[in-house]
Chain A
Amino acid sequence: GDSVTQMEGPVTLSEEACLTINCTYTATGYPSLFWYVQYPGEGLQLLLKATKADDKGSNKGFEATYRKETTSFHLEKGSVQVSDSAVYFCALGWEKLTFGTGTRLTIIP
């Protein structure tokens, strides 16, 4: 079945550092790919998505590119802020979504 493997956390970075959270997937066909973010005490929010190979999703300074050849969808940001502290989930799917286990990110001032 479909599966998502994402970088183990927790990840702690200093403000303005570069961020990469790795995500690889296994699926039949070419599903849509997503990054969701969960801020403390809140539900999940869609951060960005890509629906086909080579698409780049972007939002709030975050980017991820749908790489078919490496079955990856790594999340990147050039300069993180304290407000980016949250749990990040990679997911794939068509009608139903399959989620990774989540990566907790903490940004220290």
Chain B
Amino acid sequence: DVKVTQSSRYLVKRTGEKVFLECVQDMDHENMFWYRQDPGLGLRLIYFSYDVKMKEKGDIPEGYSVSREKKERFSLILESASTNQTSMYLCASRGPGQGIDTQYFGPGTRLTVL
């Protein structure tokens, strides 16, 4: 089974702090994604990566950056956290040869910014 893990289930940070959210997958997937999930808005894509050191902006990249130094790890960075970044953050990965566009999700990190 594909396993996608996220470093924290719950996180509380203060406004202005730098925040790192880590995601690791164990299936040698090339594609990885970061979403945020908000009530009434569904999932919105923040950033994605097709390969190591590659990144592409999603629909709502403002206020975020990412890092992909190793294939299995994809980090989301909030350079200076703000209260409007309080949300559930979901990481996903997708590999070749698994059928079209089957993404596997981690359990999520619920981030609260005070």
- On whether the beta carbons of A43 and B105 are closer than 8 Å, the reply is yes
A45 at the interface (CB under 8 A from B): yes
With contacts A51-B100, A96-B48, A97-B103 taken as known, whether A43 is within 8 angstroms of B108 at the C-beta atoms is yes
- On whether the beta carbons of A51 and B31 are closer than 8 Å, the reply is no
- The smallest C-beta distance from B38 to any residue of chain A, in angstroms, reads 9
Contacts of A100 in B (CB 8 A): 42
- On whether the beta carbons of B107 and A32 are closer than 8 Å, the reply is no
- On whether the beta carbons of A42 and B107 are closer than 8 Å, the reply is yes
- On whether the beta carbons of B101 and A34 are closer than 8 Å, the reply is yes
Partner of A89 from B43, B58, B92, B104 at Cβ < 8 Å: B43
- The smallest C-beta distance from A106 to any residue of chain B, in angstroms, reads 15
- On whether the beta carbons of A51 and B42 are closer than 8 Å, the reply is no
Contacts of B97 in A (CB 8 A): none
- On whether the beta carbons of A49 and B102 are closer than 8 Å, the reply is yes
- On whether the beta carbons of A97 and B42 are closer than 8 Å, the reply is no
Contacts of A95 in B (CB 8 A): 31, 101
- The smallest C-beta distance from B10 to any residue of chain A, in angstroms, reads 11
**How many residues does chain B have at the interface if contact means C-beta atoms less than 8 Å apart?**
24
- On whether the beta carbons of B58 and A32 are closer than 8 Å, the reply is no
Contacts of B58 in A (CB 8 A): 96
Contacts of A45 in B (CB 8 A): 105
Contacts of B92 in A (CB 8 A): 44
* B94 nearest CB neighbor, chain A only: A95
* Residue of B31, B42, B105 with most partner-chain A CB within 10 A: B42
A-facing residues in B21-80 (Cβ within 8 Å): 31, 33, 35, 40-45, 48, 58
B-facing residues in A58-95 (Cβ within 8 Å): 89, 91, 93-95
Contacts of B107 in A (CB 8 A): 41-43
A17 at the interface (CB under 8 A from B): no
A25 at the interface (CB under 8 A from B): no
A interface residue numbers (CB < 8 A to B) = 4, 32, 34, 36, 41-46, 49, 51, 89, 91, 93-97, 99-102
B interface residue numbers (CB < 8 A to A) = 4, 31, 33, 35, 40-45, 48, 58, 90, 92, 99-108
